Structures are given as structure tokens and as C-alpha cells.
Amino acid sequence: MTSVFLVTGGSRGIGAATALLAGSGGASVCVNYVANQKAAEAVVSQIEDAGGKAIAVQGDMAVEADIVRVFEACEAALGPVTVLVNNAGVVDTEGRLEEFSAERIARIINLNVTGALICAREAVRRMSTKNAGRGGAIVNISSMAAPLGGPATYVDYAASKGAIDTLTVGLSREVAMEGIRVNGVRPGIIDTEIHASGGNPNRARDLAHTVPMGRAGTAEEVAEAVLWLASDAASYVTGTTINVSGGR
């Protein structure tokens, strides 16, 4: 049976690397994006050029109606989703909590937490053997910010990823008997464009010296862990979150 991956935020960074690795392994891939259609289409083209099947579907993963629509579009084009990679996430500028507006905090929580919960809900509704689904896997993209807390950087973002770690544990136990495994990956400092959106494009390089391995990681290194957790090779693994952080 061909795996069908839905990668939220699959147009750039860790999501794009995950989509490409899944596609190169023979999976069909739905590449979700919110704004950057060109980037999403480039990921789709790379998968197609390598002989795979993929589609790009726009949708804001902080909006329930968009999430449902993306699942439906994915299913209509590629078949039932067998792997959800709950990856779309945002940071904001660095600072102290006392400086953060309610709007900023809400933007982070709405996408990183509420959106991820609704995406997982839609996956369970479709995958659960209890609902006549065929089972599947969910991989939640957390962050090392969750255990480290992001002090004087972005505790709101770190807290959102703490919620993701709890989602992984709780949901994995809730659906363990229904053919669904739920795991997570905690990337450390990974060289992607997310740091530019947080106001410091050089953040990954600037902080490389704080990593025991002395360097930032790549999106591809994170994707390897995601693909393993999603695969049958991890058939007895659920409720676990793997650190991909160079020892940080």
C-alpha cells in the first residue's frame, strides 16, 4: 500500500525536506503551504521529476475550515492520508514575555497548538480503525525549546511546543489500540528560514557554538527522524519524541 503523507508547511524548511524524503521513498505527498505557492510547487516538481506523486494545497493551518479542506483535497487526489506530519509552525521576534502582545501570543498558539490539535483530530477521524480507517502515523514537530523553555527569547513559542509534547503522549495512548502511532521530533537549531521570520537570519550560525556538536543541523537531518518514526520500522514506537539537536 502506498503511503500518503500530508505535510503541513511542506513548502520550505523541515517540511520541504520531509516531503522530498517521503517522495523519494515512494510515498505520495500532499505539500501544504500558506503563502509561498512557488516554493510548494518546486517541492512537488522535484518529487514528480523523481517519478513520485505529489500535490500542493494552500491552506492556513490555524484555520479549522482550511485544515478540513486540505485533508479533503489530499484524500481526493492521492487517497486516504496514512501519515500526518504536523509541521507548520511559527516563531516571532526574540524578547521577554513582558514585552509580548496578546496578538503575538495568540498567533503562535493558534497555529502551533490549536492548529496542530485540529490537524491531529482530522487525522484520527480518518485513520482510526474504530472509524473504519486503516490506521496510520502522526509525527508532531516539537522543538528543543520545549524542555529548554526559551528564556529571554520566546517563552510563548517554547510553551507552544511543550503543548505539542503533551499532545504526543496523550494522543498516542488514546489511539494506541486503533492502529495509529503518534510520535514527535524535537529539532534543535536547524538552518532554515524560520530564523529570518524571528528577526535574525543568522541565528543558526550565531548559536552554532552553543551546540555540543558545534554546528547547526540541517532540515534533511530532521527529516530522517520523521521518516523513521512514520515508517513500519518504528512499528512498536509510540508516544515518543526524539531529539534531533546535536546534543543540545
157 is catalytic: yes
Q: Which of residues 202-241 bind ligand NAP (CB under 6 A)?
A: 219
Cα–Cα nearest to 185, from 229, 236, 120, 127 = 229
Output 119 or 137, the one with its CB closest to ligand NAP: 119
Element holding 160 (H helix, E strand): helix 155-174
Q: Whole-number minimum distance, CB 19 to ligand NAP, in Å?
A: 9
Q: Site mask, ligand NAP, residues 77-96, x = CB under 6 A? A: ----------xxxx------
CB 139 within 8 A of CB 226: yes
CA distances from 78 to 36, 49, 97, 131, 232 (A): 22, 17, 43, 20, 20
Q: Does 39 bind ligand NAP (CB under 6 A)?
A: yes
Among 4, 20, 29, 34, binds ligand NAP (CB under 6 A): 34
CB 160 within 8 A of CB 108: yes
Cα–Cα nearest to 17, from 240, 137, 192, 182 = 192
Q: Does 114 bind ligand NAP (CB under 6 A)?
A: no
3-class DSSP assignment, residue 183: strand
Q: Whole-number minimum distance, CB 50 to ligand NAP, in Å?
A: 20
Output 126 or 195, the one with its CB closest to ligand NAP: 195
Q: Which of residues 7-26 bind ligand NAP (CB under 6 A)?
A: 8-9, 11-15
Output 34 or 47, the one with its CB closest to ligand NAP: 34
Q: Whole-number minimum distance, CB 180 to ligand NAP, in Å?
A: 21
- DSSP string over 79-141: -S--EEEE----------GGG--HHHHHHHHIIIIIIHHHHHHHHHHHH-GGGT---EEEEEE
Measured in whole angstroms, the distance separating CA 163 from the mean position of its chain's CA atoms is 14
33, 154, 157, 236: the catalytic one is 157
Residues that bind ligand NAP (CB under 6 A): 8-9, 11-15, 32-36, 39, 60-62, 87-90, 111, 141, 143, 187, 189-190, 192-194, 197, 219
Active site residues: 157
